[in-house]
Amino acid sequence: MIEAMANSDVEVAIAASDRLMDFVGRMFEMLERDVAPSTLDCSLYGDYGYLMLNDRES
């Protein structure tokens, strides 16, 4: 796709983009179907301590 865009080959770039979008769509369908949501949960449950650069008072 990048090569087609660099060469200004619009038709090839559009076809490559369409194939990429189809692939991504299938990937997300598989993730939604086969992967438990809890596996993808990366929330920190309100713990914002990781944002603290220095816990000492200035």
- Residues 25-37 have pLDDT tens digits of 999 898 888 988 8
The whole-angstrom separation of Cα 17 and Cα 2 is 9
Mean confidence (pLDDT) of the chain: 80
> Which parts of 1-58 fold into alpha helices (H)?
2-6, 10-34, 37-40
pTM of this prediction exceeds 0.75: no
Q: What is the pLDDT of residue 18?
A: 94
